[in-house]
Amino acid sequence: MAWTWRFEKSDGTEVRPASPPEEFTTQGDAESWIGETWKDLLEEGVDQVRLYEDGTEIYGPMSLHEAAAG
């Protein structure tokens, strides 16, 4: 299984972060990574993310701004 993130503006337009991650082998690894890097992603212009497993969307969009407000 391969877990990947899609990075987007608030309108759903895809954004490429400066250092996009490789694929993750577990959902937990992918979620830990986003938990550690969401502030950097916000600074790079990413507003929201979607998580995919082998090309199938698992959830999203998940706003990174909500995390900042919460």
2-60 pLDDT, tens per residue? 999 999 999 999 999 998 898 999 999 999 999 999 999 999 999 999 999 999 999 99
- At residue 67, the pLDDT reads 57
Token output for 63:
């706003």
Whether residue 61 has pLDDT greater than 70: yes
CA distance 54 to 21: 15
Query: At 18, which amino acid appears?
Result: A
- At residue 69, the pLDDT reads 58
Residue 1: pLDDT band (50, 70, 90) is: confident
Domain residue ranges of the chain, discontinuous segments joined by +: 3-69
DSSP string across 5-69: EEEE-TTS-B---SS----BSSHHHHHHHHHHHHHHHHHTT--EEEEEETTEEEEEEEEHHHHHH
Name the more confident of 50 and 69: 50
